Structures are given as structure tokens and as C-alpha cells.
Structure 1
Amino acid sequence: MIELQNITVEFAGKKVLNDISITFQQGEMIGLVAPNGTGKSTLMNVLMNYLKANRGSLTFKDGLNYSSKSKEVKIHQFVSMMPDQSDLYNHLSGRDHLKMFATMWKSDKKLIDETIEALNMGHYVNKKTGTYSLGMRQRLCFAMQIVSNTEIMLMDEVMNGLDPNNVEVISRILMKKKEEGKMIIIASHLLDNLEKYADRIFLFKEGKLVDADEIVATFSDSALTTLRVKNMPEHVKQALLQKYPALSAQTLVNGMTLVSLGAQGQDTLSDITAFLVESNLPEFIFGNVTLNDLYAMYYHEVV
């Protein structure tokens, strides 16, 4: 468990984290989404005590906090952050790094070989990391955190530079760890992947953490809530809204228009479909607001 109360971090008078109060629980996968420089890494550094908050309190299980060095040592026995590629020692092998992390966190050494196999690292793990590609180094950094086997795992852009196959492999491992009761907090720009696996997703805005469901109330709804229309002319959009005043619409920076359907019946949906076809707009689908949509709506840019 992590409980944040009124956490505020300021740099040169600007509040990067602004009075954040929230609780994260074990067994949750938390997604953090935002453009670079908006607070994701700052929040993780506060959680690790690499950066002190200007105001507020941070509490872990059993009431532990960072009020002393001895308590910090205790917290870091069950909280870890995925290392950065720059933290690797080029003269050591990947296996050396995994042994080092397993020893530091006193985890089961069997995890080393299990993780090597799961990530398909066997053909290079005994080579010096100075010979690794960026993707190999990224997998090693992820493997190092997995073998630490801590209760709480923080990951900043864990999928960076990985191909789709490795993204899927890592996602499966993360889901297994979540099922084991780990808390996993991930900052990522791979929004489709994050939307698929995260239990809760938060966006940063003006230093605040905002739940995706607070931005679009139906974001987690399994029902059809949205009509997505590609390249919809403004005059057609206005004609649609005039004909069906219960609808609302927003055109994103990528040219996609999202029409919020509300509680429309099947007959109305059929009428809307006919309207779009008659308006020569064949590229549309009924579905939900996606995380990519939400990002474009909130930040007015496309990932």
C-alpha cells in the first residue's frame, strides 16, 4: 500500500506535483499517462525518496515513511524502481546484473533462470552488456526488476524500444506479477497496451493526477458509448447534432470525430448509420473512447 497526502513538488516556483492525495493498493496495476515533463518521473522519484516533496506525506505499509535512513532502508526492501539503461555496467554480463539484483533484494535465485527463459535472453545473457542492442539492454533492465521480486515495482517507460513481440512477453510477465499481489506502477506512452492491462489509469494535468474515468465517465464502460468518424466535415457534424440534439461531438487533432451516444436505442443508432452513409462517410465504427482518444482530447496532441 502507498498513501500520498497533499504531495507537492515545486521547481522554480512551478508546481510539478500539485497537492496530490491518493492511495494505491497491492495487486493493482496503475498506469500513468502524460506528455514528457508533466510529472510522471517526478512522482516516481518521490515514491523512491530520490526527490523530497516540498509538502505532504508519503506512507507505506505498517505506517512506514521516509522520516529516517533506517526506515528508508526498510521501505526499499519491498519497493524497487526499474533501473535505467545508463545504470548498466558494460563490463559485466547480463547474468551478473541479475545475480546482483537478486542478492541485493535477497530474492529466490531460481527467479534468475526463470526470468532469462521467459524473456528469451539465454542466447546473450552471458555476454557483456556493452555488446547489447538497445532492446536487449531494455529487457535486461526489466529482468533486473523482476528478479528483485519486490512487493511494489515502479517502471518508467518499461516498453521503450521494444518490438511488439517483446511488449507482449513483458505484459504477460507483469500480469503474472499482479496476480501474485504485486503493486505495479507504470508510466508509458504505449497507450493501447496500458489500456489493455492497467486496473486504473491516471493522466497528469497541472500537477494533478486525474482518473481517466473522471475525464470520460464511460471510459471503463463495456457498452457502446461512442461513434468514431474519420474525416468528418464540420457542416456534416453540425447537421448530425441538429438532427440528434441529445448527441455531443468533439473532433480530435488526428482528424477523428468522437460522437458521444449516450443512451440511444437501436433504432436511433440505425438512423445515425444511414445518415453517415448518405453523407458519404463510410469510415466509422461504434465502440468506446480509447486511451489514445483520451490523450488527444486532454493534451491536444497525438502519441
Structure 2
Amino acid sequence: MIDIQNITVRFGEMNVLNNISMAFEQGQMIGLVAPNGTGKSTFMNVLMNYVKPLNGKIVFKDGLCYSTKQNEVKIHTFVSMMPDQSDLYNHLSGREHLKMFATMWKSDLKLIDETIEALNMGHYVNKKTGTYSLGMRQRLCFAMQIVTNTDIMMMDEVMNGLDPNNVEIISKILLKKKAEGKIIIIASHLLDNLEKYADRIFLFNEGKLIDTNQIIEDFSQAHIKTIRIKNMESNTKKQLHELYPNIKLQTLTNDMTLIHLPSSEASLLSSLTSFLVERNVVDFAFGKVTLNDLYAMYYHEESNVTAS
């Protein structure tokens, strides 16, 4: 459990984190999404006590918080953050790194070979990390996090530099760890992947963490609530707004127009399909608002047309 209470972090005159309060429960995968420089890494650094908040506190199990150095040591036995590639020692092998982390966190050494096998690292793990490619180094950093076997794991851009196969392998390992009851907090720009696996997803805005379900009701539920149209003409948008005044249109900076539906009734879907086809609009798709859509709407929205 993580109970975040009124956390504020200020750099100069700017509140990077602004009076944040929320709780995360065991067995949850938490996704953090935002442009660079908006507070994702700072948030995780506060959870690790690498950055001291101006006010507020983080409370973990048994009421532990970062009130003393002794408490910090206790907390860091069950809370860990994935190392960065710059933390690797080029003269040591991948296996030596894994053994070092497993020993530091006093976890079962059997996890080392299990993790090596799961990540298909066997053909290079005994070589010095100075010979590794960026993708191999990234997999090693993730493996080092996994062998800590802590109850709470934090990862900043864990999928960086990985091909789709390795992204899928890592995702399955994360699901396994979540099923074991761990809290996993991931900051990532791979939005499709995050949407597929995360239980809760938060965007950052002016120092606040905003739950995606607050932005769009039932965002995490797979209901047909959107029609997505590329390069929709202005005249067609105007006609649609006149005929369906209760429907909201949004045009994003990538020229994608989203038609937000008040319901997914078959009659409404049929009527809208006929409207579009009659106007030679054939490149459209029904579905739910995706995390990519939501990101563009929230951070790069170009225009709105709303019922008056």
C-alpha cells in the first residue's frame, strides 16, 4: 500500500507536484503518462525519497514513512526503482549485476536464472556489460529490478529501445508480478502497451495527477463511444453538428476528428454511418477513445465543437 498525502514539490517558482493525495493498493499496475518535464520522474523520486517534498508525506505499510533514516532503510527493503543504464558497471557481467541486486535485497537467488530465461538473456548474460547493445542493457536493468522481488516496483520508461517482441515479454513478466500482489508503477510513452496492461492510468497537469476516468467517464471500459475520422472537412463537421447537436466533436493536431457519442445505441450508430457515407466519408472507425487519443486531446488539442 502507498498512501500519498498532500505532496508538493517546488522547483524555483513552479510547483512540479501540487498537493497530490491518492492511494495505490497491492496488485495494481499504475501507468503515468505526460510530456517530458511534467513531473513523472519527480513523482517516483519522491516515492523513493530521492527528492524531498516541500510538504506532505508518503505512508507505506505498517505506517512507515520517511521520517528517519532508519525508516528509509526499512522502506527500501520492499520498495525499489529500476536502475538506469548509466548505473551499470561495464567491467562486470550481467549475471554479476543480477547477483549483486538479489543479494542487496536478500531475495531468492533462484530468481536470477528464472529471470535470465524469461528474458532470453542466456546467450549474453555472462559477458561484460560494456559489450552490450542498448536493448541488451535495458533488458538487464529490467532484470535487476525483477530480482529485487520487492512489493513495490517503479520503472521509468522501462520499454525504451526494445523491439516489439521484448516489449511483449516484459509486459507478461509485469502481469505475473502484478498477480503476485505487487504494486507496479510505470512511466511510459508506449501508450498502446500501457493502455493494454495498466489498471489505472494518470496524466499530469499543472502538478496534479489526473485519473483518465475523470477526463472521460469509464475510459477504462471497452464501450463504443467514439467515431474516429481522418481529415474530416469543415463543412461536414458543420452539417453533423447541426443534425446532431448533442454530439461533441474534437479535432486534434494530427487532423484526426473524434466524434464523441452520448450512447452506443444501434440506431445512432446506423444513422451516423449513413450520414458519413452519404457525404463520401469512408475512412472512419468506431471504437472507444484510446489512450493515444486522450493524450492528444489533453495535451495537443486543436479545436472543439460542442453543442450550444
Report the TM-score range of the alignment, normalised by the length of the smaller protein: over 0.9
Give the counterpart letter for 2:47 in structure 1: L
| Counterpart Cα distance in 1 of 2:237 and 2:96 | 60
2:45 is equivalent to residue 45 of structure 1: yes
Matched AA of 1:22:
M
CA distance in 2, matches of 1:62, 1:301: 44
State whether residues 251 and 258 of structure 1, in contact with CA within 8 Å, keep that contact through their aligned partners in structure 2.
Answer: yes
TM-score by length of 1: 0.98
Note the C-alpha offset of 1:294.
0.4
Do the aligned partners of 1:138 and 1:161 also contact (CA within 8 Å) in 2? Answer: yes
Corresponding residue for residue 293 of structure 1: 293
Shift of 1:189: 0.2
Aligned to 2:73, the other structure's residue is in SS state helix
1:158-188 deviations in Å (ceiling 9; x for gaps): 0001000000000000000000001000000
TM (normalized to structure 2)?
0.96
Deviation larger for 185-194 or 225-234: 225-234
Q: Which 5+ residue runs of structure 1 have no aligned equivalent?
A: none
Partner of 1:174: 174
Distance 1:14 1:104 in 2: 37
**Which one-letter code corresponds to 1:152 in the other structure?**
I
Residue 132 (structure 2) pairs with residue 138 (structure 1): no
Q: Partner amino acid for 1:123?
A: H
Give 3-state SS (helix, strand or coil) of 2:258's partner. strand
Q: C-alpha separation between the residues in 2 aligned to 1:189 and 1:232?
A: 27
Distance across 2 between alignment mates of 1:151 and 1:104:
15
The 5-angstrom pairing of residues 140-159 of structure 1 reads: 140-159=140-159
Change (3 A) 1:77 1:71: same
Conserved? CA contact 2:224–2:264, under 8 Å: no
Matches of residues 203-214 of structure 1 in structure 2 within 5 Å? 203-214=203-214
Q: CA deviation at 1:267?
A: 2.0
The answer to whether the 8 Å contact 1:38/1:204 transfers is: yes
Query: For residue 274 of structure 2, what is the amino acid of its counterpart?
Result: A
| CA shift for structure 1 position 268 | 2.3
Residue pairs, 1:148-297, within 5 angstroms: 148-297=148-297
Is the 1:32–1:203 contact (alpha carbons within 8 Å) kept by the matching residues of 2? Answer: yes
1:113-124 mapped onto 2 (5 Å cutoff)? 113-124=113-124
What is the Cα deviation at residue 221 of structure 1? 2.4
1:6 aligns with 2:6: yes
Number of residue equivalences: 302
- Give distance in 1, aligned partners of 2:282 and 2:252: 18
Runs of 4+ in 1 over 3 A off after TM superposition: none
Across the aligned residues of Structure 1 and Structure 2, the Cα RMSD in angstroms comes to 1.1
Residues 82 and 300 from structure 1, CA distance in 2 versus in 1: closer, same or farther, beyond 3 angstroms?
same
Decide which moves more: 246-255 or 16-25: 246-255
Q: 1:24-63 maps to which residues of 2 (within 5 A)?
A: 24-63=24-63
Query: Structure 2: which 5+ residue stretches go unaligned?
Result: 303-308
Q: Alpha carbons of 1:228 and 1:51: their partners in 2 closer, same or farther (altered >3 Å)?
A: same
Superposed CA offset, 1:203-233 (max 9, x none) = 0000000000111113122221111111111
Task: State the secondary structure of the residue aligned to 2:117.
Answer: helix
- Aligned to 2:154, the other structure's residue is in SS state strand
Contact 2:223 2:264 in 1 (8 A): no
The 8 Å contact of residues 251 and 301 in structure 2, kept in 1 or not, is answered as: no
Q: Distance in 1 between the 2:196 and 2:72 partners?
A: 33
Q: Distance in 1 between matches of 2:24 and 2:168?
A: 25
Q: Distance in 2 between matches of 1:2 and 1:12?
A: 27
Match of 2:306 in 1: none
Q: Identify the residue that residue 112 of structure 1 maps to in structure 2.
A: 112
1:84, CA displacement in angstroms? 0.1
Q: Secondary structure at the match of 1:10?
A: strand
Pair 1:40–1:226, CA change in 2 (3 A): same
User: Does the 8 Å CA contact 1:77/1:150 hold for their aligned counterparts?
Assistant: yes
Of all paired residues, the percent bearing the same amino acid is 72
Shift of 1:255: 1.0
C-alpha spacing 1:218/1:279, structure 2 compared with 1 (3 Å): farther
